[in-house]
Amino acid sequence: MENKNGLTGSIIAGVGALILVVIITLVVISTMTNANLLQSTATTTTVGQSDETGAWLNQSGYTLAEFNSSFRSYSIVSLYNATGIAIPSTNYTFNSVTGVLQNKSDERWGDVNVSYTYIKTTNYEDSVTTANNGFMSGINNVSGKIPTILIIVAIVLLLGVLVLLVRYARETGFVGSGGSSL
């Protein structure tokens, strides 16, 4: 069977199929990420006070020893100074995204014991997160090039229209065949 669309039709069909595959892949990854389909196998880990000693609490901040940006839901359970006195949560802040424990008061503790929990992600979640980040990074890279791509497409379309107008003008007799009539 003969392809009546030619090269242009094949290119348009190929680009359309590529866009469709990318959209379907993004929908699948987004669904797996946002619907928590893989999180049911994750385990909650508790780090006790005796497991993480030698931490400090001051203005510069202390990053939890077992902090991993792939894990989630970090939460401070308790915080005690070296003499065993509890430090109230009003005296510190905790950033669960960066894992940094920071002092909110003027008092500084050079040796504190911290207890916290977090959810350890599975290999499946890590794979989906990595794929999602890769796709988003790729889309961000392409979106920065869209103005250049659109200018190139506009120029190609303009040249195509110009060629069609010249062809039409020759067929209708508005323009000669290129020879001199003198």
For 104-156, write each residue's pLDDT tens digit. Answer: 877 777 788 888 888 887 777 777 778 778 877 887 787 778 788 888 888 98
Domain ranges of the chain: 7-37+125-164, 43-120
Torsion of Cα atoms, 97 then 100 then 104 then 106, to 10°: -170
Is the sign of the CA dihedral 110, 111, 113, 118 positive or negative? positive
In the sheet where 62-63 sits, what is the strand order?
62-63, 100-103, 92-95
What average pLDDT does the chain have? 79
| Chain mean position to CA 117 | 26
For 31-62, write each residue's pLDDT tens digit. Answer: 776 776 665 666 777 787 666 767 778 777 88
Structure tokens at 3: 């392809």
Least confident of 83-97, 121-135, 156-170: 121-135
119 exposed, middle or buried (CB, 10 Å; 0-12, 13-18, 19+)?
A: middle
Which H helix or E strand runs over 63? Answer: strand 62-63
